[in-house]
Structure 1
Amino acid sequence: MDTSTHHSLNDLFAQLGLASEDAAIDEFLGRHHLSGEEKLAKASFWSENQRRFLEQAIEDDSDWCEVVDELDTLLRH
């Protein structure tokens, strides 16, 4: 039985305390980018709490991991 929880990009933005409507996410993605080998959680635009959440999601391979990876990819386009 699959008991995992699937989180959307909108859920992640809400969890991070950011506006989570599609238009707000598009605006965020238009303003922020990651370059080269820059780590998502180390980007300068995160608060300390946001940074910790993102790091923990990846380290713990939590149910947030997939959508955090999706955000990483979107910030590199």
Structure 2
Amino acid sequence: MGLIMETTGHHTLKDLFSQLGLASEDAQIHEFLVTHFLYRHEKLSAASFWSDGQREFIESAILDDSDWCVAVDELDSLLRH
């Protein structure tokens, strides 16, 4: 299953979860955040819990400085608890 990148405006964390094919309701996002984490020097896109398509989307969002960057950065920060 491939991910289709949207290219319109500002995206929220909920939008990012939906784009990644993850459940995007507040409770489900919270559950994801308490059950997943990143090590201090681990890159978000290198985390073991992503599928290949999710990893590619995250890498592309960062490298292309796309309109997804803010949401991707927010997720990166939230996973460092």
After TM superposition, the score normalised by the length of structure 2 is 0.89
Q: Is 2:34 aligned against 1:30?
A: yes
Unaligned runs of 5+ residues in structure 1 are: none
Shift of 1:36: 1.2
1:50 — aligned with what? 54
- How big is the alpha-carbon RMSD for the aligned residues of Structure 1 and Structure 2? 0.8
Equivalent residue number for residue 76 of structure 1: 80
Q: Distance in 2 between matches of 1:15 and 1:26?
A: 17
Q: Runs in 1 of length 4+ with deviation above 3 angstroms?
A: none
Give me the TM-score of the superposition, normalised by structure 1.
0.94
* Percent pairwise identity: 68
